[in-house]
Structure 1
Amino acid sequence: MNSQGRRRIDEIGDESRRRILDAAEGLFTERGFERTSFAEIAQRSGISRGSIPWHFKNKHGLFLAVIERAMDRVMTPEPRTASPTLTELAEEFAAWVRNGESALVFVALTEAMGSSGAVRGQYQEYFARHRRGLERWLQARRPATADPETAPERERAFAVAFIGALFGIHLQALIDQDDVDFDAAMRLIATQFEGNLRDVWDDPAQ
C-alpha cells in the first residue's frame, strides 16, 4: 500500500475514534458510566459496535480515554490576562462550567472513588494541577515579609480551600440548578478569598 493510501486509512481511524469519544462523552455525562452501553455509543456515533473494542479494548479503556481527553481540555486553558485576580480565575472556571462539559468531572469522581487504577490517577492529577497552578499564582504575589518556611504550606492550604469552594458550588448547581444562584455564589467566594489573601502570609500567632 502506498503512503497516500496508508494516510487515508489513518484518517478514517482517527475520525472513527473521535466520533466514538464524542458519543461516549455525551452519554457518560448524561447517563453515567454504568448505565451507558456500547450499543448506545455505536448508535450515537454511527460507528459499528464491534469497532469500539478495536479502538479502546473495553468499556473501562474507553472511559479512561474520554476522561483523559476531557481533562486535557480543562487543565491547559490560558487565562485571559497575564496576571489574573482571583475573581478573574473564578470567572474562567464559571465559563468552563457553563460550556456544558463540566458534569463529566463528577461522573469521573464516581468512578474514581471506587477504583485504585488509572481513572483515579487521572482524577488525582486533575486536582493536583489545579492546586499547583494556584500555588504558583500565590507565590508570585508572596510579600517579602512572609515567612519562607510557613508560606508554602499556607499557600497550599489556600489552594485546597479555594478549589474546594469552586467545585462545591459547581456540584450544588448541577444537582439543584433551580435553587442555586451559581453566578452570585461564584462572585461571593472570589470576593471573600480575595479579601483574605493577607491571611495566607500573616503569621496567625502574631
Structure 2
Amino acid sequence: MSDGSGVAEHGRRRIDEIGEESRRRILDAAEELFAERGFERTSFVDIAERSGISRGSIPWHFRNKDGLLMAVLVRAMDRFLPPERYRRALPSLATLLLDYESWARSGNSALIFMVLTEAMRSTGPVRGQYQEFFDARRRRVVRWLCAQRPAGTRGGADNRERATAVALNGAVMGIHLQSLIDPDVDLDAALQSLATLVDGD
C-alpha cells in the first residue's frame, strides 16, 4: 500500500530501519575511535572505514563532527543512566550515584571530559549543546531534591535547590575525573561519602 508519495509503507519502514542501522554503526565506530585516538585525531574517513558506512552519510545523520561527538556522549550516558528509569519513582541519591559509578567504570566514560574540552574552547554549537546536556541533568537532580521535601512543602524549585544541583553535579564530575587520572582514588568510597554528606544535611 502506498502513502501517496509513491513509496509503499513496507518500503518506507525498511528505509527507516536502514537509516537507524547506519546511525547505530556510525555511533559505535565513533565511540570506539574517540576512546582510542581522541576527538582531534579521529576523522570522518576513519569513522567511515570502521563503520562500513560511506563518509558522506555521517554529516547527513549528524551535521558535523561536534554533533556526532554530542550524540556519542548522550547515547553512552543514556545506556547506563536511561531517563525512563527515573520517571516513575525517584531513587535515593545513593542509587543515583551507584548508577553513575557503573557508567564511570565503563570503557568510554572519559568522553564526558572530551566534550567538556571541546565546549570550553568553542563558541559554536558544541558549547550550547553541552550546556543543554548538563542543564537536563541538573533538572533531574532538582526534581530529586524537591521530592525529598516533607509532604505539604513540595512545589517549584528554589535557588538553594538549583545551587545544590550545580554543586552535586560538579562534585560527581570532579570525583570521576580524579578517578580517571589517579588510580589510587577510590571512586566507590568517594561517591558513597558524597551521598552520606548530602543525605545527612
Mark yes or no: TM-score above 0.5.
Answer: yes
How many aligned residue pairs are there? 193
Which of 52, 66, 69 aligns to 2:72? It is 66
Q: Distance in 1 between matches of 2:96 and 2:61?
A: 37
CA distance 1:65–1:184, change in 2 (3 Å): closer
In structure 2, what is the Cα distance between the partners aligned to 1:19 and 1:136? 34
Identity of aligned residues (%): 62
Q: Which has the higher contact order (CA 8 A, sep 6+)?
A: 1
Distance of aligned partners of 1:132 and 1:8 in 2 relative to their CA distance in 1, 3 Å threshold: closer
In structure 1, runs of 5+ residues without a counterpart are 198-206
Provide the TM-score with structure 2 as the length reference.
0.79
Runs of at least 5 residues in structure 2 that lack an aligned partner in the other structure: 1-5
How far apart, in 2, do the equivalents of 1:129 and 1:58 lie? 22
Matched with 2:116 is 109
Deviations 1:97-152 (A, max 9, x none): 22334221111111111223322222112221222222222222224798x99x81
Distance in 2, Cα, partners of 1:8 & 1:145: 52
RMSD, aligned CA: 3.0
Shift, 1:36, TM fit: 0.5
In the superposition, the TM-score normalised over structure 1's length comes to: 0.77
**In the alignment, is the contact (CA less than 8 A) between 1:173 and 1:180 conserved in 2?**
yes
Answering whether residue 50 of structure 2 is matched by residue 44 of structure 1, we say yes
Q: 1:61-113: CA deviations, max 9, x gaps?
A: 43344345445554615149934222222112112222334221111111111
- Distance in structure 2 (CA, Å) of the matches to 1:43 and 1:190: 44
Measure, in 2, the Cα distance between the counterparts of 1:82 and 1:145. 18
Which of 176, 185, 196 aligns to 1:191? It is 196
Maintained 8 Å contact 1:68/1:122: no
Residue from 15, 20, 30 that aligns with 2:21: 15
Partners of 1:14 and 1:83 lie apart in 2 by: 31
Q: How does 1:25-104 map to 2 (within 5 A)?
A: 25-70=31-76, 73=79, 74=81, 76-79=83-86, 82-104=89-111
Give the superposition deviation at 1:169: 0.5
Q: Is the 8 A contact 1:79 1:89 kept in 2?
A: no
User: Could you tell me how far 1:24 is from its partner in structure 2?
Assistant: 0.8
Q: Distance in 2 between matches of 1:14 and 1:81?
A: 28
Determine the C-alpha separation between the residues in 1 that align with 2:48 and 2:61. 13
